[in-house]
Amino acid sequence: MDKKKMFFTKLKQEDKNKIYFERLRTIFLSLFPEQKFIIDCDNNITNLLLQMEEDELINLPSKKGTHWECMPNYFRPKWIQVISELKNKVINDVVWHPKLKWATDIKHPAQLEIAIKINNYLKNNSSKMNIPLNERSLMIFDDEKKLASLTQGESLFGGKLSIKDLNCYQVTHPFCYSSPVSCKTNRILILENAATYHSFCRWNDLNQQYQAIVLGSGGMFENSHWSLETTFSILPDVGFEYFGDLDPSGLRIPANINKERLKNKLTQIIPQQWLYEQMIAAKKHFISKDKETECTQEDILWLPCNLRNETKELIKNNQRIPQEILNLEWLFGFTELAIINVDTSI
């Protein structure tokens, strides 16, 4: 047994959180008594400790602190900590698929395990069919949600691998919608909440003002809006109008969606101006119970300019107007007036 192993074996028997240098010297000299006659004995101990740190056998104190003593020709640690469980060294001798050639540099055990599973899939899977990400995740990891947790946007490992390399794609949540028997417009109305959705579906079946009424389901629409184009692809020059609560979250949802749609060069969602005007005209404000109590300037700017100041004042006073204020009775009580026209010159 070499000197380092002998010293480490003895140190493990100490069963202490920290072993101070005086004790280290005593243990060292008990193993190697001839060293007591050497002037540089403490320096030799320190060099041995530095080697043991490199081998991840011990922890030395930070060199930035005050836990090192200045000796004539070197610095000596005041104490050390023995690592109770030896870390398994990462052995990266995998034959990597060309798409993972960069993986030879992986040192982290967990990342290496993930990369190996992906490598096995790439080497053994002959099918090139594109399938949903969760289905591919189950094939690779025996866990349908694992791949989504590793994915940032559409890439993994900091952009070194794309989900397209794994022949899979992100699936957006579908949404619920209702269309009347016939309609001459190409307008789509998106509603935030379920009750308003059902009322407007009944109204639209009679008035046929919208090609479809869509249920956004609150924040769920921040994911499902990606399905708008595919769902209504047969409609030329389709227009998407949105109507939700007048409160911070009700404005944040469409404002955030439009940011993403702008980045991806998709049709913008516009506020259904007349409906928002009718909400404010009702002059009924409600105490906000939402966790979100503040609204950004960007969210407010999503509204038509003639509604922004009143909405800012409403939110500033911790108040809100739920869209349910325009209920089924309101719709059918004003059937003649409720032929909704949108003003796009906002």
User: Could you tell me the end-to-end alpha-carbon distance of the chain, in angstroms, rounded to an integer?
Assistant: 83
Between residues 290 and 275, the one the model is more confident about = 275
pLDDT at site 233: 80
Helix H or strand E segment including 39: none
What pLDDT, in 10s, does the model give residues 177-186? 999 988 888 8
**pLDDT score of 173 more than 90:** no
**pLDDT score of 116 more than 90:** yes
Q: What's the pTM?
A: 0.57
**pLDDT score of 345 more than 60:** no
What pLDDT, in 10s, does the model give residues 284-305? 888 887 666 678 888 999 999 9
Residues of the chain with pLDDT > 90, as a percent, come to 47
**pLDDT score of 334 more than 60:** no
Between residues 136 and 71, the one the model is more confident about = 136
For 100-148, the three-class secondary structure string (H helix, E strand, C coil) is HHHHHHCCCHHHHHHHHHHHHHHHHCCCCCCEEHHHHHHHHHCCCCHHH
Three-state secondary-structure class, residue 52 = helix
115 — pLDDT class (breaks 50, 70, 90): very high
- What whole-number distance in Å separates Cα of residue 163 and Cα of residue 159? 10
| Average pLDDT in the chain | 86
89 — pLDDT class (breaks 50, 70, 90): low
Q: Are 155 and 163 in contact (CB under 8 A)?
A: yes
Which alpha helices (DSSP H) does the chain contain, by range?
3-12, 21-31, 41-54, 109-124, 133-141, 146-150, 194-207, 221-224, 228-231, 248-263, 273-281, 297-301, 305-316, 328-333
Distances (CA, A) of 115 to 8, 15, 58, 169, 312: 34, 38, 29, 19, 50
What pLDDT, in 10s, does the model give residues 143-157? 998 998 888 767 888
259 — pLDDT class (breaks 50, 70, 90): very high
The C-alpha angle 106, 111, 112, rounded to 5 degrees, equals 60
- What whole-number distance in Å separates Cα of residue 214 and Cα of residue 181? 15
Three-state secondary-structure class, residue 181 = coil
Lowest mean pLDDT among 77-91, 150-164, 218-232, 253-267: 77-91
**Stretch 42-64: mean pLDDT:** 85
**Stretch 231-255: mean pLDDT:** 91
| DSSP tag of 313 | H
Distances (CA, A) of 85 to 6, 21, 50, 81, 242: 17, 22, 18, 12, 59
273 — pLDDT class (breaks 50, 70, 90): very high
**Stretch 259-278: mean pLDDT:** 92
